[in-house]
Structure 1
Amino acid sequence: MRLTTSRRASWAALAGLMAVSSLQAANLSITQFRVRGPSGGNDEFVEVQNTGTAALDVSGYKLNASNASGTTGTRLTFPAGTSVAPGCFLLLANGASSGYSGSVTPDLKYGTGITDDGGLALLNASGAIVDRVGLSSGSAYKQGTPLASLGSSNSDQGYGRKLNGAGLPQNSGDNAADWVKVAPTAPRASTSPCTVQGLSVSIADATVSVRNGDDQRMPFAIALSEPATTDVTVHATTADDTATVAAGDYDAVDTTLTIPAGSTSTTLDVTVHGAKTAGPDKAFRVNLSDATGGDVTIAKGSAVGAILNEIPVAAEIWQVTGRGQVSPLLGKRVTTHGNIVTAVGPAGFTMQTPDSRADDDRLTSNGIYVFTSTTPSVKVGDMVDVEATVDNYFNLPELKNAGITATKHGVRLPKAVVFGDTIPSSDPDALSCGATNFQCYVGMRVSIDNGMITTGNLRFSNEPFAEVYITANGKRSLREPGVRYTVPVPEGVNLPNWSGNPQVFKMNTADFGAVTPNTPFNAGTTFRAEGVMSYAFGMYTFIPTTIDIKKAAPLPRAVDSRPFYAVRVGALNTERFCDTEFNTTFTCSGGDTEPTADEVKLKTQRLSAYIGSVLKLPDILSVEEVKSLQVLQGLAKQLGDDYPAQYEAILQPGHDPSGINVGFLVRTDRVRVLDVRQLGADETWQDGGETAFVHDHPPLLLTADVPSIVGRMRINVISVHPKARQNVDKTGPAADRDREKRFLQAKSLATQVQAIQTDRKNLLAPLLVVGDFNSYQFSDGFTDVVGLVSGRYDDSQNLLKLGRNLVKPALWNAVDSVPAQDRYSFLFTENFGNIQGQSPRQVPTHQVLDHALLNTVARGLFLKMQYGRGNLDAPVQTIDDSASATGVRKAIGSSDHDGFVVDMVALPLSLF
């Protein structure tokens, strides 16, 4: 992209000229809010009030929010027909999980939270800001000095607006001066008492648009709260702001107005002079003083007069888009000539600057979307002139209300930006577009030659098969070594931060007709495509115009059949395989109720299909998150009914308050169980001053004889499921407690492992430690559970220090033998800030939580480790549809983990 010196100068001048944001006034004010409450970050509300003297129709108004980096988004659009009586309130509240917990019933709900250090704004139906308050200097919404963030402690505190002498919300234009901390909060809704005023006078804001040099009359309404028995007089004067009398923007007024007895209003007219050239919006103020008659007070004594310059600005696309998500020309009418249509959708099209006129600023985009509401008449390859209004639709810069003229047809398209190994960047410290990886490409042509779909389709609204996540480098979005992105590396830990996979982004395949709507895609599918970058519902999104599937990933994808001379050991987290009885401290299901008998039956059938057809009937299968022996026996029977194999269910209850346990399914037609016992089941620790068990799910040791090439072979298998890591990457007492417990669990298990493998009778027996370790194959920087259990713990990479390894010789993690791009057993969606657009951005991360650790003997017999794919790669709708499928497809979605199998050569002890 190229930009001449003269273009750079004109662009800088234009950016400075348009720096004044559009102004619009209204009588709706934010009067109280909190962005975090007793239930957490979603326990929030925003209280608004009509401070005017007449009912206010707020249909189409918006509640917007900003984060500390200035990224904005709409949280709520007020429904049609919403009205607020004078002096009355509306309560807007977060209705998401762990949302608003107050006793006052909200009038309207939204589903996406507001950050602790961001800001919020009210916009009218035209998109102009009518009130705003910020909690940081970086917020896009603030007035004057922003308020201080109240932090991340979950308590009932917020901010309330101060009242002026007339009892109305104070709005001096400075947040710090107008707001005060409120604790506890006391939100008001439409059912709350309205503010009752005595006799008071107010002035309303006014707006005019200038489209030529003609003078305009700008009327300001001045109103009494109720009729007076005597004449009321008030003095009104204008005051310069960005609009000045000296510049000829308007004529000064200094006059006294009278509202006759029995009347409630009068009008102040200010003459606004027109403009002949495009320019910024400007504003002045009208101030009231010296009110007399009938004990009148001034309730709202200052009004904004907004002068909106709607003369079209001649601009290139890159001048319209600017460097951020909000155009520097937002709200302005623009003309842009000689651009090329690159994609056409059902309600608009994208156009791009020809390569010969493209600028050389990598932080600006040369493409933009033109919204037409109906199918455009233009075609790809048309050269067009467009006059339109610059809009920001959910943070997508676009042109609307457009006049479009095609001047040429069949023009060569601009060169596409090639996404691949280096674009978008995989380094969060060197992103492709400065603060993000994608903003500078929005609206532009993009080509992807080596794309990979990394998740199955999500659902959206009435679309069962909607967006997918993708990479352009042909790789999975894997969790990689290092401390979690955005989490400070603990002192004394020699690890970098993991990148967080900023190269992952979203694809909407059907928006421009590249595929038929509701086409399913399985994760692992590879493709090549051309299309345009866009921004949809908080996320940078690639919309293909053409797509070619190179290799479609099938589901389910079963492991290879067991070699006849091998023994197969596997593990599967069954995802809360519960019975119907609620007889534990918490529900086994994790929800409000336990499953019904029909739901247990369906779960049993789906798990049977997965174990039998995807894992291919392991000889010994560790199962985690199983409620009871009875429900596991039901699965063993189902396997026997469905397949030519007979299984025995083994389970010993642990200490989990929701009742989930570890156990085994053992093929009795091939395996003879010798012994089963829990390890360290009675070990305790001091948990917050109280004695508690170390293991919620005590490791379970199975000793068995398995068939070998000649005779039988003894084998030891330990089923494990340590504490989950949901608090590990956080700070505070809960994180400290969970890290310590995981550390103690791993030490306990390591001690048991060492005792088993050094026992004389086990010296020649293979030992496998298998299951859901809730830990990666490398350290997270706090406690490397897998490394500690295997004897490969590195104190320099962990906050909690071990001193010396407990397991010698060390165990080997068979995960290391799996192809790198297949090393995942769980899909976790993580929040990483605004790199991908939404704040917080949600990125699907594939990670290994399910491992197989082998002693020296077992490694010597090792053949292969494989994950059976039937859960993580499926579209959401496919998972639901598979519940009613038959055969192997019933396995899809049986759990939230993918299980694995390890095959070993079976040799009798006498041959060692």
Structure 2
Amino acid sequence: MSASVRPRHRSAAVGALVVAGLCSALLVKPSHAEEPADQGALAAPRVHDIQGDTRTSPYAGQQVTDVPGVVTGVRTYGSRGFWIQDPTPDDDPATSEGIFVFTSSTPRVAVGDDVRVSGLVGEYYPGGEDTGGQSVTQISRPTVTVVSSGNELPAPVTLDAEDLPERYAPAGDPAEGGDIEGLTLRPNRYALDLFESLEGMTVAVEDTAVVGPSTPYYELWVTLDPHANPTANGGTRYASYTDQNAGRLKVESLVPVAQQPFPRANVGDVLAGTTVGPLDYDEFGGYLLAAREMGTVESGGLTPESTRPQRRDELAIATYNVENLNPGNEQAKFDRLAAGVVTHLASPDILAIEEVQDDSGPTDDGTVGADETLGRFVDAIVAAGGPRYEWRGIDPVDGEDGGQPGGNIRTVFLFNPERVSFVDRAGGDSTTGTEVVRHRGRAELTASPGRVDPGNWAWEDSRKPLAAEFSFRGETVFVVANHFTSKGGDHPLHGRYQPPVRSSEAQRIAQARVVNSFVQDIRSAQRQARVVVLGDINDFEFSPTTRALTEDGALRGALDSLPRDERYTYVFQGNSQVLDQTLVSPSIRRFEYDIVHINAEFADQASDHDPQVLRFRP
């Protein structure tokens, strides 16, 4: 048991738990270790011997017999099995006293059973070894003997900020790609080491702040340290690559939803009382508390925000990722998104929307047009009391822009024709880009709308930026809508490679340089041209991607105008972070910018992104 944390509470013995269809990790957990051909069984090692003082077991690949422990949790969904914990710990804080026993079928044990377990020790990598996540030490193919039932359970280790190391993870050996698996755990120094030293053990949290809303997969996120990078609404902000917010912990439940519905929680709520259960690990966020006893959610009173309406002489330009919008969605989604546009964004003059799918949605039938999708969205906006927007976009080549297979997502401009005029110039299509020319001393696009350098390798399997000219009160404004490539393939923050490898970043940097060059072309043709670049950049304000966008002073981030505790558009694994950005050319000297928090922090979401709006006088 770790010396850096203290057992404070004892839980009552409970009966067998039955769970069906619960949580995001609905996996059948195979053993990834193979039994050596002529390996004899090792008699009666203790759990801490099997866990060892690194991330992988010194017994991996070996048979063990009669491992003693008390059952502390039973899981009958997904990765079926149970946890045991040795009630007689050693004095090494690096060695866990708990371990998962993988049964593959519904376990025939109950919490409080004193058991002896024989089986094969192995390391299982949730999601696969190639994802870069850590492994879970387990005993598989078990033979289980129940010695007695109804025993007192080991006291849980209560986790809180007082015991949490300030540092998140050790640095791995560069010669090994940053792999930390072989390093001796230092639970007093690193948060990931602390959690690993408790893998499989019973832990508890008390009155913890919710920093990631509950999801359809029956999970929520809390933080052990609510004072770390707090947001205005009670979340915790991802502030830099070296400030990962070590106190984040996912909470799931071992109690079936039919018996106890999973609580609905928003960011800023409190998971009150005591939540207790084994500490587990999965690929959907890392370490998690598999709760056999769940606290109750107390509301923090979070409500959706609304921005102010633009004034008569202000141009309002917004961006909103509408999350795979297609005609197959329920009308309720169209209505919720429309209310966001009208009520919360105050009906901006120009709206760049991302993740608009084609008219057949994810059905891969060759459809690329999205008129039905957009028509339904505009109709919903009108029904919500907004203007009848017109739209401009360019259909992609089938299957060439990434996203959900068959969906053909793209960026589209909506605009209010009563407030702004769209400058239409034919010639742009999915493969023919727009260019910048100088005409009568002013910058002009050869095609509007037009894609930006669509043949560049930077846009392979990714959305191509959409550029257009607008006229507002006689002044021209250039707008470039973007949806950069996703972070798929990057190593997770909680993984075994430290620091994590951000392999997807190279393509986003290349994309940012293409957009930056395009903006420089506009400014070369007209130094004082007003340019707004916005959309789902899929990267942070402190990232090399953002530095590439703003290189040589072509653009500056509107985000910098906000207080730090309001700088986030997305919540991922308990981290409030920036993915969506708005940037402006130097000629837009004065502006007002607002991230309108209506989705990311809420269990009930119309999209997983928050929209943002920029207002200025051209």
1:865: how far off?
0.8
Structure 1 runs not aligned, ≥5 long: 4-72, 78-119, 131-303, 379-383, 460-465, 483-497, 578-594, 706-712, 760-766, 788-792, 794-804, 829-842, 879-891
Task: Kindly provide the amino acid, as one letter, of the partner of residue 118 in structure 2.
Answer: T
Question: Could you say which residue in structure 1 is the equivalent of 2:321?
Answer: 573
**Aligned-pair CA distance for 1:364:** 0.3
Q: Percent identity?
A: 15
- The equivalent of 2:348 in structure 1 is 618
Does structure 2 conserve the Cα–Cα contact (< 8 Å) formed by 1:526 and 1:550?
A: yes
What are the Cα deviations for residues 60-80 of structure 1, in whole angstroms up to 9, with x where unaligned? xxxxxxxxxxxxx98758xxx
The corresponding residue for 1:173 is: none
- In the alignment, which residue of structure 1 is the partner of 2:549? 786
Q: CA deviation at 1:325?
A: 4.8
**CA distance in structure 2 between the partners assigned to 1:755 and 1:771 by the alignment:** 21
Contact 2:2–2:194 (CA under 8 A) maintained in structure 1: no
Q: CA deviation at 1:516?
A: 1.8
Q: Greater strand percent: which structure?
A: 1
Return closer, same or farther for 1:858/1:361 CA change in 2, 3 Å cut-off: same
Distance 1:385 1:654, change over 3 A: closer
Verify the 8 A CA contact 2:222 2:574 in the aligned structure 1.
no
Provide closer, same or farther for how the CA distance between residues 699 and 773 of structure 1 changes in structure 2, counting only shifts above 3 A: farther
Judge conservation of contact 2:211–2:222 (CA < 8 Å) in 1: yes
Q: Pick from 642, 647, 653: which aligns with 2:384?
A: 642
Question: C-alpha displacement at 1:699, in angstroms?
Answer: 1.8
Counterpart residue identity of residue 90, structure 2:
D
* Cα distance in 2 for residues equivalent to 1:604 and 1:345: 38
Which of 711, 721, 731 does residue 482 from structure 2 map onto?
Answer: 721
Please tell me whether residue 333 in structure 1 is matched to residue 78 in structure 2: no
> Which of 126, 142, 147 matches 1:404?
147
Cα deviation for residue 2 of structure 1 reads 8.8
The aligned amino acid for 1:404 is V
Query: Which residue matches 1:467?
Result: 219
RMSD between superposed Cα atoms in Å: 5.3
Q: Is the 8 A contact 2:307 2:596 kept in 1?
A: no
Tell me how far apart the structure 1 counterparts of residues 197 and 238 of structure 2 sit (CA, whole Å).
27
Aligned residues: 492
In the alignment, the residues of structure 1 paired with residue 87 and residue 579 of structure 2 have an alpha-carbon distance, to the nearest angstrom, of: 48
Q: Deviations for 1:144-179, whole angstroms, at most 9, x for unmatched residues?
A: xxxxxxxxxxxxxxxxxxxxxxxxxxxxxxxxxxxx
Q: 1:416 maps to which residue? A: 158
Query: Measured at CA, do residues 392 and 536 of structure 1 come closer, stay the same or move farther in structure 2, by a change above 3 Å?
Result: farther
**Match status 1:452 vs 2:200:** no
Partner of residue 751, structure 1: 521
Following the alignment from structure 2 to structure 1, what is the Cα–Cα distance between the partners of residues 111 and 393?
A: 70
Contact 2:535 2:582 (8 Å CA) reproduced: no
5 Å-filtered alignment, 1:254-653, equals: 304=38, 308=41, 313=44, 317-323=47-53, 324-326=55-57, 328=59, 331-334=63-66, 351=85, 353=87, 358-368=89-99, 373-374=107-108, 376=110, 378=112, 387-389=116-118, 392=121, 395-397=136-138, 401-405=144-148, 413=155, 416-418=158-160, 422-423=164-165, 425-429=167-171, 433=187, 438-449=195-206, 450-454=208-212, 456-459=214-217, 466-474=218-226, 480-481=239-240, 504-511=248-255, 516-522=260-266, 525-527=269-271, 529-535=274-280, 540-544=287-291, 545-551=293-299, 557-562=304-309, 567=314, 568-575=316-323, 604-624=334-354, 632=374, 634-643=376-385, 645-651=386-392, 653=394
What is the rounded CA distance, in whole Å, between the counterparts of 1:598 and 1:686 in structure 2?
Answer: 29
Partner Cα separation in structure 1 for residue 479 and residue 574 of structure 2 = 30
Aligned-partner residue type, residue 338 of structure 2: S
Q: CA separation of 1:523/1:750 partners in 2, compared to 1, >3 Å: closer, same or farther?
A: farther
Structure 2: runs of 5 or more not aligned: 4-26, 125-135, 173-184, 357-368, 402-407, 426-433, 437-444, 492-500
Q: Deviations over 1:377-408 (max 9, x none)?
A: 74xxxxx9654436658545468623334798
Aligned partner letter, 1:703 = S
In the alignment, which residue of structure 2 is the partner of 1:824? 568
- Residues 1:546 and 1:350: Cα distance change in structure 2 (over 3 Å): farther
Displacement of 1:427 in angstroms is 3.2
8 A Cα contact 2:306 2:346, kept in partner = yes
CA–CA separation in structure 1 for the residues paired with 2:75 and 2:510: 55
Corresponding position of 1:865: 594
Q: Which has the higher contact order (CA 8 A, sep 6+)?
A: 2
Q: Which moved more, 1:524-533 or 1:625-634?
A: 625-634
Select 1:769's aligned residue among 507, 522, 532: 532
Q: Could you tell me how far apart the structure 2 residues matched to 1:635 and 1:455 are?
A: 26
Letter of the 2:537 counterpart: N
Check conservation: 1:750, 1:806, Cα contact below 8 A. no
Q: Contact 2:186 / 2:193 at 8 angstroms: preserved in 1?
A: yes
Q: Normalising by structure 2, what TM-score?
A: 0.61
The question of whether the paired residues in 2 share the 8 Å contact of 1:812 and 1:855 is answered with: yes
1:212-244: per-residue Cα shift (whole Å, max 9, x none)? xxxxxxxxxxxxxxxxxxxxxxxxxxxxxxxxx
**Closer, same or farther: CA 566–546 of 1 in aligned 2, 3 Å:** farther
Aligned to 1:200: none
> Does the 8 A contact of 2:65 with 2:119 survive in 1?
yes
Q: Per the alignment, in what secondary structure is the counterpart of residue 401 of structure 1?
A: strand
Preserved contact between residue 114 and residue 151 of structure 2 (Cα < 8 Å): no
Q: CA deviation at 1:562?
A: 3.4
Report the CA distance shift for 1:501/1:703 in structure 2 as closer, same or farther (over 3 A).
Answer: same
The SS at the match of 1:404 is: strand
Deviation string, structure 1 residues 352-387 (Cα, Å, up to 9, x no partner): 546xxx434222013456899346374xxxxx9654
- Report the Cα distance in structure 2 between the residues aligned to 1:649 and 1:436, rounded to whole angstroms: 54
CA contact under 8 A between 2:539 and 2:579: conserved in structure 1?
yes
The superposition leaves residues 306-358 of structure 1 with CA deviations (integer Å, 9 ceiling, x where unpaired) of 6546xx63x6553354334547496433475xx8887788886654546xxx4
Q: How does 1:681-720 map to 2 (within 5 A)?
A: 696-705=464-473, 716=477, 718-720=479-481
**8 Å CA contact retained: 2:71, 2:114:** no
* Cα displacement (A) at 1:674: 7.6
Matches within 5 A, 1:132-211: none
CA distance in 2, matches of 1:652, 1:407: 66
What secondary structure is seen at the aligned counterpart in 2 of 1:438?
helix
Residue identity opposite 2:470 in structure 1: L
Aligned match for 2:421, one of 673, 676, 682 = 673
SS in structure 2 of the partner of residue 699 of structure 1:
strand
Instruction: Quote the Cα distance in structure 1 between the aligned partners of 2:608 and 2:350.
Output: 21
Helix, strand or coil at the partner of 1:508: strand
Q: Structure 1, residues 744-776: CA drift from partner, whole Å, max 9, x if none?
A: 3321123325755626xxxxxxx5614215254
CA 1:508–1:630 in structure 2 vs 1: closer, same or farther (change >3 Å)? closer
Change in 2 beyond 3 A, CA 1:753/1:454: farther
Change (3 A) 1:742 1:343: closer
Q: Whole-Å Cα distance in 2 between the matches of residues 553 and 757 of structure 1?
A: 47
Tell me how far apart the structure 2 counterparts of residues 513 and 598 of structure 1 sit (CA, whole Å).
Answer: 28
Taking a change above 3 Å as real, the CA distance of residues 377 and 814 of structure 1, as seen in their structure-2 partners, is closer
Q: Cα deviation per residue 1:494-517 (whole Å; 9 max; x = unaligned)? A: xxxx57777654321344999924
Q: Deviations over 1:616-664 (max 9, x none)?
A: 4224323345556775455334322231x32331415487666834313
Quick one: which amino acid aligns to residue 457 of structure 1?
Answer: T
After TM superposition, list the pairs within 5 Å mapping 1:110-149 onto structure 2: 128-130=35-37
